[in-house]
Amino acid sequence: MPAEAGRPEVFRDALLAAGVLLDGGGMGLMLRSGAFEDAARGVEMLMARQMAGDDAEVMMPPPAMPLRTLTRTGYMRSFPQLAGTISCFCGDEAGHRRLVASMEAGEDWTGQQEPSEVSMIPAACYLTYGQVAQRGPVAMDGKRVAVEAWCFRHEPSPDPCRMLMFRMRECVFYGTPDGAKAHRDQWLARMGEMAAMLQLPYTIEPANDPFFGRIGKIMARSQLELELKMELLIHVSDPVKPTACASVNLHLDSMGAKWGLETEDGAVAHTACGAYGIDRLTLALFRHHGPELSAWPAGVRAALWP
C-alpha cells in the first residue's frame, strides 16, 4: 500500500479507503475491520507459538489499572505527557442538572468530572511486577510471564502507527542478571525471525524512550549508550523514517528494586522483556503485502494462520 515521506496521512488514507481501518471520529482512535483483526490475531498467535516452550504464566489485564500502580511505576516522572487517568461524575441530582445544562449549551461539561482511583495502562509489563513480587523470591532459573494489554499514550497524530490505544504483547523475565541477558538475546533473535517469517524488511537498532524534559535527555542518552533498548524497525507509514514494531528491553535491576523483586539468593532480581506492537506489526503487514489478506504471500499466510 502507498506511503509518502513525512506524510503519514497518505498511508492512513489508503487504509481508510480500502476499509482496513474505519475513521473513529478522533485522531488515533480508528476502528479495526475484520481483516485487520484477523491479521492482528495471527500476529498474537505467532508470538504465542514462539513462546510454546517457555512455560510462561499468562496474565491478561483489562485496559485499566489502579492509579496507585501508575504512581508506583514512576511513569509520571519520565513520561507525564503520555499517561491517561480516568475521571468520573460523583455528583448529586443538582450537579447532574448543571452537567446536562452545560451539555445542552454545547459547553465543555468535563469540569464536573473528578479524578477516580483508576488510570490507563502505559505499558503491558507494569501490571506484572507487583504480581510476581508478592509471591516471594523468584527461582534462580527465573520466571516468565506472558502479558498483553491495550496501552494508552496521549500523542494524537495522523500517523496510524501512533494510535492513542494499541495492543502490546510482552514476554517478561524475572531472575538473575545472566538470565535477563539471555532473555534479551533470545528475543533479539525471535523478533528477527518473526519479521523474516512475515516477509517484512527490517533492521534492529539501539533506541531510547521519549523521556520528558532536560533531565530526560540525559536518561535517554544513557539508555542508548548502554544498549538497554533494541528496536525492530520496519518502514510502515513512512518510506524514509522506519517505525519501531517490536523491542527488547533490559531493565537491569531497576524494576526489581522498585517492586521489591528478589531471586532465591536474596539478590535484587534483574528483569528483561520482549515486546511486540501488535497493531504496528499488523499495519506493517498491510503496508508491505496489500489490503487483501487472500493476496498475501503463501508463506506469510502460513505463519499467521497455520
Residues that bind its own copies (CB under 8 A): 22, 24-26, 29-34, 36-37, 57-69, 71, 76-77, 80-81, 83-91, 93, 96, 99-100, 103, 108-111, 113, 115-118, 120, 127, 130-131, 146, 150, 152, 154, 156, 163-166, 212-214
| φ, ψ at 70 (rounded to 5°) | -60, -45
Q: In whole angstroms, give the CA distance from residue 121 to residue 128.
A: 12
CA torsion angle 72 68 123 262 (round to 10) = 40
Any idea which residue has 490505544 for its cell?
Answer: 165
Query: In this structure, is the dihedral angle defined by the CA atoms of residues 120, 123, 127 and 129, taken in order, positive or negative?
Result: negative
Cell of 122: 502505559
Task: Please report how close the Cβ of residue 150 comes to its own copies at its closest, in angstroms.
Answer: 5
| Min dist. Cβ of residue 127 to its own copies (A) | 6
Nearer to its own copies, 156 or 210 (CB): 156
Q: Which three cell numbers stand for residue 262?
A: 528478589
CA distance 216 to 218: 5
* The C-alpha cell that represents 12 in the structure block: 492512513
Strand pairing category for 229-234 and 21-22: unpaired
CB of 93 to its own copies, least distance (A): 5
- Of 155, 196, 163, 170, the closest CA to residue 279 belongs to 163
Provide the minimum distance between the beta carbon of 210 and its own copies in the complex, in angstroms, as a whole number: 14
Residue 3 DSSP symbol? -
C-alpha cell at 129: 511486577
Distance, in Å, from the CA atom of 207 to the CA atom of 203, rounded to the nearest integer, reads 12
Asked whether the beta carbons of 283 and 244 are under 8 A apart, the reply is no
- The nearest distance, CB 280 to its own copies, in angstroms, is 14
- For its own copies, the closer CB: 112 or 199: 112
**C-beta closer to its own copies: residue 65 or 245:** 65
Cα–Cα distance for residue pair 134/227, rounded to 1 Å: 30
Q: Which is nearer to its own copies, 5 or 29 (CB)?
A: 29
Q: How far is the CB of 202 from its own copies (least distance, A)?
A: 25
Q: Which is nearer to its own copies, 27 or 182 (CB)?
A: 27
Q: What is the CA radius of gyration of the chain?
A: 21
In the complex with its own copies, the residue whose CB is nearer, 214 or 295, is: 214
| Cβ closest to its own copies, residue 34 vs residue 297 | 34
Least spacing, CB of residue 185 vs its own copies, in Å: 26
When the beta carbons of 93 and 265 are compared against its own copies, the nearer one is: 93
Cβ atoms of 170 and 146 within 8 Å: the answer is yes
Residue 67 CB, nearest distance to its own copies (Å)? 7
